[in-house]
Amino acid sequence: MSNLENDTALPAKFVAGIAAHINEDHRDEMLLLAHRLAGQAWATDATLQNADKNGVELKVMAGERVALVRVAFEQPIDKTTDFRPAMQALLMRARQT
């Protein structure tokens, strides 16, 4: 594993738990991020695929079309407890776009 991966990684168990929660309860918000911040207006569904200290990766879909897109936090987070506020800031930014 490179230093960059170490610097950006969040614990795998944490990411898996966050992804499961978000994908169960917050898919509309992930679609909003895809449309407004990742420029994927064609998407009809979006799920959280991965997260690290710099942002999130979304899987966006419409019919057979699938893409992975990245949405960056305004600034890297330092610890897992910073994840929720960073996501809330992303959603606020998406709603204002």
For 10-66, the pLDDT digits (tens) are 999 999 999 999 999 999 999 999 999 999 999 999 999 999 999 999 999 999 999
Task: With beta carbons less than 8 A apart as the criterion, state whether 18 and 30 touch.
Answer: no
pLDDT at 82 over 90: yes
pLDDT at 4 over 70: no
Mean pLDDT within 2-16: 76
The residue with greater pLDDT, 7 or 70, is 70
Q: Which helix (H) or strand (E) holds 59?
A: strand 55-62
Neighbours of 93 (CB within 10 A): 15
CA distances from 55 to 63, 65, 79, 82, 91 (A): 26, 23, 13, 11, 12
The pTM assigned to this predicted structure is 0.89
Task: With beta carbons less than 8 A apart as the criterion, state whether 45 and 58 touch.
Answer: no
Neighbours of 45 (CB within 10 A): 15
